[in-house]
Amino acid sequence: MHPLVKLAKETIETYVREKRIISPPPELSPEMKERAGVFVSIKKRGCLRGCIGTFAPATACVAKEIIQNAISAATEDPRFPPVSPQELAEIECSVDVLSQPEKVSGKKELNPKKYGVIIKRGGCCGLLLPDLEGVETVEEQIRIAKLKAGIFPDEEAEIYRFEVKRYR
């Protein structure tokens, strides 16, 4: 298991069982020392069970970002009830570390397998990670991100793209 994924899983298990927030490991790997946005995804029997993240760094390093977002994914994703202790043996985690988002001029600069998207209009913002099962086209990716942001499909919006390093 990759150290980033191990940290996410340990964080979730400790928090769900003991309601305690763990500290980052004493020796941080190079990728744990970086500052970046991070998403933690939880799956149970192959189905999404929680996913929360930040598209820009909100903490001092990736390790702290993982801890914060792992707890949120397990307990605060509004689509799911909090993860229970009985579920812990069945869950798998993945960690996506995001590159700095860059504004694009149009759909031709996107690829749903390679890039995630951030859609912004006014104070509304929606994000969709890249290479998600069932999302095959740029149009579908933008439609879902707009839906998440509360932006109507025909409304103009700023589009940003980013890449991820996905750890499983």
Walk me through the domains of the chain, giving residue ranges and CATH numbers.
3-98 (3.30.700.20), 102-163 (3.30.1490.150)
pLDDT at 103: 98
Single pTM value for the model = 0.93
* CB atoms inside a 10 Å sphere around CB 30: 7
pLDDT in tens, 1-53: 999 999 999 999 999 999 999 999 999 999 999 999 999 999 999 999 999 99
Query: How far is residue 118's CA from residue 158's CA, in Å, rounded to a whole number?
Result: 8
pLDDT at 124: 96
